[in-house]
Amino acid sequence: MFTGLVLGTAKVVALVKKKTTANLALTPNFKLGKVSLGDSLAINGCCLTVAKKNKGTLFFDVSTETLKRTSLGAKQKGDLVNLEKSLRLGDRLGGHLVLGHVDDVGKVSGIKKNKKFWEIEFVYSQKDARYLVSKGCITVDGVSLTVNLKKGLHQDSRFVVYVIPHTLKWTTFHALKKGDAVNLEYDIIAKYVEKKYGFKKPH
């Protein structure tokens, strides 16, 4: 379990793909603190298990399912990814409940920059529109953000987030550009509500 408050970034050292899995190696760009074998870390919003450590480099086994459902399979040596350690009981829930189970891959469809914040627009699958509400929560590449549905946007396929300088500094968002793929995880509460009550399109 995570909260979507990214601690910092890590650099991809290698991504070696095999028949049924892949091996991902990362080097954090900040002091991560104690990490043990078997610990869960969110890598661009994907919950992965530390399989090996060696001189500051962390190694992960990535399944073919994860490669298919996320943007991790397209990462190359030198790319940056967001990193968050899992929550402990008693930790502050500064963002929202994040499982690290990516639902879909969206794309950056527009970026407007100013001194106070960046306005970033994303396009996503229309079938998932039921999970987004204005001022609700969404996880983008592991970052907990607030959903904005602006007038004039196709509300069933696009949403906007406003990213402050602190978030830009400590995450990969400062390097985002139009067309980039991002991992999306929708609010787990919305998914549980749908499971219990079902979803019906308005007449």
- The DSSP code for 6 is -
Q: What is the share, in percent, of the chain residues with pLDDT greater than 70? A: 94
Does the pLDDT value for residue 152 go beyond 60?
Answer: no
Delineate the domains of the chain, giving CATH numbers in brackets. Answer: 8-85 (2.40.30.20), 104-197 (2.40.30.20)
Average pLDDT over residues 136-163: 86
Q: CA 28, CA 21: separation in Å to the nearest integer?
A: 22
Cα–Cα distance, 162 to 116 (Å, whole number): 10
pLDDT tens profile 111-122: 999 989 999 999
Mean pLDDT score of the chain: 91
Predicted TM-score of the model (pTM)? 0.91
| Continuous H helices in 98-164 | none
